Amino acid sequence: MFKPVLVTGASSGIGEATAVYLAHKGFRVFAAARRAAALETLSGMGAGRIHPVTLDVTDEASIAEATATIAEEAGGPLYGLVNNAGVAVAGPVEQVPGEEWRRQFETNVIGLVQMTQAILPQMRAANQGRIINIGSVAGRIVAPFMGPYGASKHAVEGVTDALRRELVGTGLRVSLIRPGFINTHFGEQEQDSLARYMGEDSPYRDHLHKFAKWHERKHPSAAPATVVAEAVHKALTAARPHSRYTVPSSFLGFLALRNLMPSAVVDRVFGRITGVE
């Protein structure tokens, strides 16, 4: 009862839904993000079992401070770490500046790795615990103009596979959740990012417009964040958690297409559905 878990990126979207869901399911949840005010609203939810923690996963001092605060409040090792914090940088590979690529990888990849390094030793000492990384369907198949984001989620797949295999023989388990489109504000961030490259002089202008038009309809009509929260709960509680959970399951067909069909065919399908052809 009340096993302690840490959810990063819990001030909105999937992280917030996951924090509330897990608290209602009997976990004690440390809900972490940069925006302390947004986290405060969570304190009154989840049967009083949600504890807000200010955390920037790209800042080592912040990670150390948050880890110390949680250790003091939890009074024992964490049972679960849900590496959910993420940002999306979109745009043509040719044009997105290096600093934006770095920002993408600093949060989605290095941040995830440094959080894992901060929490894993206490789980290892207890010889039990679950690490759950939030990847993406984009970690297997990348749409045009989603290069920085897709590349970061491909890296998350690699990190997760390595870690899972390194922890073989211990009581620790590692799972990756691959959400498809989910109805959060993430889509707005991606649209803002795409808009930066639509200037008159951009060689990608027409294709970007078509892609952005297709993309803007996706998040608002997508599955709710609770489908991801349910998958996280399964990964935390199953006796033998899966290595990967793809949610909603309708995206499995898309991944099968990527795995089974030649790239030329997949490219044509992408072109047809996004208008980039």
Angstrom distances, CA of residue 55 to CA of 34, 64, 76, 167: 5, 9, 20, 26
Residues between 160 and 189 with contacts to ligand NDP, criterion CB under 6 A: 179, 181-182, 184-186
- 219 vs 244, beta carbon nearer ligand NDP: 219
* Residue 30 binds ligand NDP, judged by CB under 6 A: no
The answer to whether 20 and 97 are in contact (CB under 8 A) is no
Stretch touching ligand NDP by CB under 6 A, among 13-21, 235-243, 246-254, 263-271 = 13-21
Among 25, 38, 65, 275, binds ligand NDP (CB under 6 A): 38
* Residue 33 binds ligand NDP, judged by CB under 6 A: yes
Phi-psi domain of 95 (left: phi exceeds 0; alpha: psi -120 through 50; beta: other): alpha
* Residue 103 binds ligand NDP, judged by CB under 6 A: no
Selected catalytic residue, list 21, 149, 197, 245: 149
- 84 vs 193, beta carbon nearer ligand NDP: 84
Question: What is the Cα–Cα distance from 236 to 216, expressed in whole angstroms?
Answer: 33
149 is catalytic: yes
Min separation Cβ 84 and ligand NDP, Å: 5
DSSP state of 151: H
Q: Which two tokens stand for residue 16?
A: 């917030």
Cis before residue 248, ω within 30 degrees of 0? yes
Residues between 220 and 259 with contacts to ligand NDP, criterion CB under 6 A: none
- 192 vs 277, beta carbon nearer ligand NDP: 192
* Residue 67 binds ligand NDP, judged by CB under 6 A: no
Min separation Cβ 83 and ligand NDP, Å: 8
* Residue 136 binds ligand NDP, judged by CB under 6 A: yes
Size of the site for ligand NDP (CB under 6 A): 31
The answer to whether 107 and 87 are in contact (CB under 8 A) is yes
Angstrom distances, CA of residue 139 to CA of 10, 42, 111, 195, 237: 21, 30, 17, 23, 24
Among 134, 141, 151, 159, binds ligand NDP (CB under 6 A): 134
- 36 vs 265, beta carbon nearer ligand NDP: 36
Distant-in-sequence, close-in-space partners of 99: CB < 8 Å, separation ≥ 6: none
- 30 vs 181, beta carbon nearer ligand NDP: 181
| CA atoms within 13 A of residue 161's CA, in its CB half-sphere | 7
Min separation Cβ 132 and ligand NDP, Å: 12
Q: Is 141 helix (H, G, I), strand (E, B) or coil?
A: coil
Q: Which of 120, 130, 109 is nearest to 232 (CA)?
A: 130
Q: Catalog residues that contact ligand NDP under the rule CB under 6 A.
A: 8-15, 33-35, 38, 55-58, 84-87, 107, 111, 134, 136, 179, 181-182, 184-186, 219
Q: Catalytic site residues? A: 149
